[in-house]
Structure 1
């Protein structure tokens, strides 16, 4: 009997919870997104669903260098993975402001950090 691409042999041997990654599916999805958008420079994927530097590397290998994130930890992961543009997709408040500044200082150019702000004051 043929197995579907998502089926796992010996699933009972997997430790749970766990994340199964199908690199060939990810690569196909990245290529489809690039084609749909009209080029890699028009994409800025959000990393909150995977949080994996390996997936970021797959994007970067295809010319995608701009990313969005939801947390300072995700921003740091992106910086360590070599992303050139990192957008924190919410306004940091309190100690998170200092953490974002420190992160931007720790990873200077060519990397750019940005965030959304409701009010500059």
Structure 2
């Protein structure tokens, strides 16, 4: 879903509206996780290939492939703050409840999920646009 902000880029009002939109999307991730209490979070790239995305402060890089809700919200917030498009999708795979995360930017099309994974429900943050919705 494309989100609209009716404020000048860089203004305090823009930052507040942007934060409200981002935080509402992060709540959607929490809601999805609450319906899957034993889920793990995984991420994939724009080709649907699983990636290491969980930050490891000890080695100062992403090393983990499965993360928590806290990891997922941090990852989503960082990507959205960077202007990326972001999506999550729920599935059950190999007896596990998984919420997949992915991110992309123009001109790439997304979301793309791993081969063999059947996404049951997904939601996307398709960026923000300045102006009034037409």
TM-score (norm 1): 0.27
Which structure has the higher relative contact order (CA within 8 Å, separation 6+)? 2
TM-score (norm 2): 0.25
